[in-house]
Amino acid sequence: MVPMRMVCQLILLGLVAATTFASADRTTYIVHTEDSKIVELQSLNKQPREWYETILNSVIKPAAQDDGDEESLAPELLYTYETTMTGFAAKLTTKQYQSLTDIDGVLSVVPDVMLNLHTTYSTHFLGLEFGRGLWNYSSLASDVIVGVLDTGIWPEHISFHDRGVNQVPARWKGTCEKGANFSAAHCNKKLIGARYFLEGYEAINGRINGTDDFRSARDSNGHGTHTASTAAGNMVPGASLFGMANGIASGMRFTSRVAAYKVCWDRGCASSDILAAIDQAVADGVDVLSLSLGGLPRPYYQDSMAIAAFGAMEKGVFFSCSAGNSGPIPSSVGNMAPWMTTVAASYTDRIFPTKVRLSNGKAFKGSSLYSGAKKTKQLPIVYKETAGGNRAEFCINGSLSSSLVKGKIVLCDRGLNGRTEKGFVVKSAGGAGMILLNSPIQGEELFADPHVLPATTVGSTAAKAIKGYYVQNKNLTGSISFYGTRYGARAPVVAAFSSRGPSLVDPYVIKPDITAPGVNILAAWPPIISPTELKKDNRRVQFNVVSGTSMSCPHLSGIAALVKSVHKDWSPAAIKSAIMTSAYTHDNKEHLISDAFVSKSTKFATPFSFGSGHVNPEGASDPGLVYDISAEDYLHYLCSINFTNAQVSILARKKYSCPKEKKGNSLQPGDLNYPSFAVVFEAFKKGRTTFTYKRTVTNVGTPKISYKVFVEIPKNVKISVEPKVLTFKKLGEKQILLQLLGTTKPTRMKPACRILWLTLIVLFAVVCTTSSSDRKTYIIHIDNSKLLELKSLNKQPQEWYEEILQVTSTTSADEVEEALAPELLYTYETTMTGFSAKLTTEQYQLLTDIDGVLHAAPDQVRSFQTTYSPDFLGLELGQTGLWNEKPASDVIIGVVDTGIWPEHISFSDTGLSPVPSRWKGTCEEGTNFSVTNCNRKLIGARFFHKGYEAAYGRINTTLEFLSARDSRGHGSHTASTAAGTAVPGASFFGMANGIARGMSFTSRIAAYKACWEGDCVDSDILAAIDQAVADGVDILSLSLVGDATPYYKDSASIAALGASQKGVFVAFSAGNSGSLPSTVGNVAPWVMTVAASSLDRGFLGQVKLSNGKTFRGASIYSGNHKKTKQLPLVYKETAGVEKSTEYCLPGSLSPSLVKGKIVLCMRGINDKTEKGFVVKSAGGAGMLLLNTPNYGEELVADPHVLPATLLGASAAQVIKDYLTQYKNLTAAISFHGTTYGARSPKMAAFSSRGPSPVDPHIIKPDITAPGMNILAAWPPMSSITRLSSDKRRSHFNILSGTSMSCPHVSGIAALIKSVHRDWSPAAIKSAIMTTAYTRDNRGHLISDLSASNSTKYATPFEFGSGHINPDKALDPGLVYDITGEDYLHYLCSINYTNAQVTLLARRKYSCPSDKGKTAVQPGDLNYPSFAVNFDAAKRGKTTYTYKRTVTNVGSGKISYKVFLDQPKGVKVSVEPKVLHFTKTAEKQSYKVSFTGSSSRSFYSFGSLIWVGGEYSVRSPIAITWQ
């Protein structure tokens, strides 16, 4: 229920003071006593309670004296307080109270007062073929070492275990570098090294956020683990992703060693780090380097990777890089240096097929990894305007209308957001399926994604056809079928995303060099990251399917390791040549390799797409000839492309002079001994041009062999080769050939285009020998009945198979093929019936005609493929380091509230360790509550009611449980918000669906019930705080507030100071009395005061008037109909005759006027949901709730019982004006469910504001946090609206208020405490405040939903230091610490008397004398913000100089520089301007001066920011002219 505004509260409090306690003739008082008295008592072995009872007895007068009736009421001791304050609470008459104040040792006696809960229904904001040839089981593990530069590695993954692996090679010089969650023990004989490099990244981006990424070689992204396992991961049987792609997951060289070098972090990879890693990796002793990363094309001498790769090549290290994912755009290829191997990406024959069937009979193929039901029903199809609003065709957050898409299949165009994210959007809107439509630029590329609902991707041709059919027939329906994993598809096909040549930097080398599997690749995945890498995806897997050249690159790296393990002495260039010259260019259907991007010019791929072709591991291990290149050859090449001596020297790493050209022997680019030819002609040069290039090949195959040349002639070019036959007599022999190239006619290209169009592939065939490649392996499937016949004749199947093969051999008429007899490989009897054999083409054809042979299929090489690049998808990693899976936290959060519902799943203790031994609390028994209701999550529960009953009489046990059990819901909601266990699938009538969990979901909870029937008495609160601290809580969360009073009169503030001195962090809500200024409560500087703001999640209710105007509102109406008809609108006198009709109070509406109509109801007086019950009971068909100007544009969503929505003040005024003009105005309300992406945060209008009415020297509130529309736990017996007429029940509820924002901060404080055990409450508070942000998700200053604000932006008087930023708060760099003594000095500085300060000190206290010293001033409190007060009437300038001390809690050696955002009308200066720290925990002080004069303004705001490295330590400045 929304509480009354300030005026109403004052009236009610006046009534309370006048009448509430009078009925008992006694009032409850809280008595503060000297701590020294207690010490004296303890020295005498007396208990404080004895003294307190003695005191109370002393104030009882004989009954014979005056006012005997009053005096016969003896004092009643309620509580004693010992931990956070010293004293007691008692019920006293007025005279007893007066007598008590004169007793020695009694410091103060104050009346008990009431505090109110602050809640307004709310929602939540805060918020990854094995086995043959080179893959045989060789005797020993390979000593080849593959270095992977990437995002690190997950060392515990089974892909990196070292069972059966030999000792680490003796030549290895690397190490396992320690870091966050990574130690030397994480390396083994498989993962032999791990390092991380971050200096370059941090110099550019600031310090790495240790909550988002591990400051170690551990992988928090998934990319590095995936690529490392693709290159050299162990063989893991039974690997799959949700049962698909099932089989053995294995790296290309599964026996190789892995060394991980982490160079990539949250925002990318710094070149300086990459360079350092390459340098270190080579020094460590790697043989192959794999880098699935790259940048913009640039000349080699400016490319750090190219420079480092050159040095690696000189040391004999093979260097493999990804081509990039910028296809199909021409000249987009990266990593182009000729000494690198540049890898494109292509498909394999493994697919995950789907079929879309339309109601018109048309069917289309697609691809998906959806793992649910195998087929949908025929469902309606919606698209664009029939699915939602703006950009609904892209299915971005907030674009779809639940009323339009529910139960339907949504067509979504690819682009703008991630493919799997679109599925989440469709599902959250109620859609039953999704068809992802490729654009023409994505062509026929079919990614398989692990969707969360039935969904498939279809190619651009199918996409165009489906959209065309939909335009023709808006009633089109469709179904989606899923066929799991299938093999035998046409492959390879070059991926559309794969970057293309020709090279922008160097046209004389064909790039990419090669293509390898890069689409839908299965490989290892960290268990902490979802398969989609989306925050809202809570699925976790051991293996993931990902796509990109990031995945093709490690395939090639692993294959290079295979070749290296066989040919130890081969140079990197020789290995590269072997891979390139043995590649194939035809697919498994004997067609040229095609391109998934369908261009108009050709359906086939070219060398600019796939380089030399598709990698062929077996062929690469025995290529016959290689083109070798030395480092000097590369340097000569650089000279030939006109690099200067200085530029070549950069790569040579020494002073280098290009050789002088001799007459008739000039350096030319085409003479580089590269395994491909890129020839550049001038397009409009007259006549013919001839280039003659030289190549040298080395025989690495058969010693005595001859090769004959065959040339596939490109169009418009004549080619000749001399000699045409190369004859070798021994291994290692070299032969030289000359290639002559000349144009036959000029081309018709524009003059501006310098030609880059010619590529050549020179093919060599062996002369005088017959290649084994003339035969292929086939798998033959046999009719099982034939085998039964054989068995009846006692014949073995193998005998018949051999007879069959003999028939095919003797029938052949070709003498050459006759010599190649069929070769039986395997027989199959268990899972299939048949055999495999090597056959010539004619033998295969003859075999298919034999009776009993069902089918013969060519054998296929099945690669283990896994890939899903976040860079490729444009997605960001969704998890925070603070929420990593860790052992249960021992931080204990005490929640003082309405109690708790202990059986709720949010308080389950599954997986938690035993209760901390330091815990001294208990589980107090009461009504429906026993010791067994506590567990390892809810470790304590107590209730405090004596103060309440003293004020109101005995608690009504029909409404409340006389125990810690919660009957109202508020306490369960706040406790679960702070520290509730993670609960998947939580929602509120299907809305706000997701994981409900507290901010510190592994923390322990202790519940202290001090609030009853909506009210909380100070004495109970004080007792609860006192007991909680004694019990051992670390954090106290109190979502309640009273009137702002001086600290020495505020019992909660006094107790909070005591708690703070005991090391307990205390968070209070700021109050719900906004939008009026100076309404903030709980303003003591030692507590964290929390304001409330909105999230980016909303619940859209839209109103459309009959005049065509539409207005956006908010509602959680969950009825069956998502839209009303156009219905008449009624308001005020057209809805009833009572004065209160406009507020829809009970009895104010006339059924004859409102029946079947939509009623306009102003907010105020009664609850919003109650208004809905009033309208419904009168027969109304709907309700428009209208904000008053005081509520501004604040849209709080409520679970209405009829179609209803809340509208902002501006919309409310417009609608009322239209109703005046058009008496017959009608309206319809539509409901769109949960939406995301709204501008946020925005300050809630209800959130109480500063400046502090008690203490203008401190900016209050301190911080803002999510407090609007928050989903959290709810007791299953409580009405969701807390109205007795509402019979609906739910396990979760959506509430709003600073009551909801407060536990967010409490939970985050617990997170920080769990990491920084030794930090004081003030240090934690400082960390939260100085890391807060003040701009919303659009980059604008945080705005204010209150229309009463003079500007559209919020100020520190609304949000304090800004919006809480949990990850930054964990590592703030600097903190402003404050001791208990500092707070007492501060109280003296604001002119508190010694007696008043003594109340808070809990001992006799004398303020320090100012004589001979600098005067104590309020601004010197070491607070993380600055509140400066000038006299508005004073003439001339005034200067205030304040001192602050900061403690370094970040980097050891670091310097901070100050930056100022000057408040208007005031000059701010700081000395010193730079702070130098040499170690952690070091303190540095600075002074800040504020100079101002008289002003017409009331307030002005700015900030002071210390910036050092990655840290930005911000303090707001608030200037007030009084």
Pairwise CA distance, residues 1482 & 1009, whole Å: 42
Whether the Cβ atoms of residue 1428 and residue 1465 lie closer than 8 Å to each other: no
Dmax over CA atoms of the chain, in Å, equals: 139
Name the strand (E) or helix (H) holding 227.
helix 223-232
Q: Is 706 helix (H, G, I), strand (E, B) or coil?
A: strand
CA 1494 to CA 1522: how far, in whole Å?
Answer: 10
Both tokens assigned to 172: 């290895």
1182: Cα separation from own chain's centroid: 39
- What is the full DSSP assignment across 1120-1163? S-SBPPPEEEE-GGGT-SSGGGGGT-TT-S-HHHHTTSEEEEES
Q: How far apart are CA 1372 and CA 1368, in angstroms?
A: 6
Q: 1406 CB contacts (<8 Å, ≥6 apart)?
A: 1394
Residues annotated catalytic, as ranges? 150, 223, 550, 897, 970, 1299
- Given a contact cutoff of 8 angstroms between Cβ atoms, the answer to whether 771 and 828 are in contact is no
In whole angstroms, give the CA distance from residue 822 to residue 813.
Answer: 14
Report how far residue 160's alpha carbon sits from residue 191's, in angstroms, rounded to the nearest whole number.
6
Alpha-carbon gap, residue 1272 to 906, rounded angstroms: 9
Give the residue from 32, 179, 1 showing the smallest Cα distance to 105: 32
DSSP per residue, 200-224: HHHHHH-S--TTTS-SSSB-SSSHH
Distance of CA 1333 to the CA centre of its chain: 18
Euclidean distance between CA atoms 96 and 1404, whole angstroms: 24
DSSP 8-state secondary structure symbol assigned to residue 1409 = P
For 883, list phi and psi in degrees, rounded to 5: -110, 20
DSSP string, 1048-1073: GG-HHHHHHHHHHHTT-EEEEE--S-
End-to-end CA distance of the chain: 36
Residue with tokens 């002073």: 655
| Spatial contact of 95 and 42, defined as CB atoms under 8 Å apart | no
Q: What one-character-per-residue DSSP string does 335-396 give? A: ---TTSEEEEEE--S-B-EEEEEETTS-EEEEE----S-SBPPPEEEE-GGGTBSTTGGGT-
Closest CA to 988 of 1284, 1281, 1230: 1281
**Hey, is 1002 helix, strand or coil?**
coil
- The amino acid at 156: E
Angle between helices 304-314 and 645-652 (to 10 degrees): 60
The phi, psi pair for 1176, rounded to 5°, reads -65, -45
d(CA 973, CA 1303): 9
Cβ neighbours of 1239 (radius 10 Å): 13
| 626 close to 574: Cβ distance less than 8 angstroms | yes
185's CB contacts (< 8 A; 6+ apart) are: none
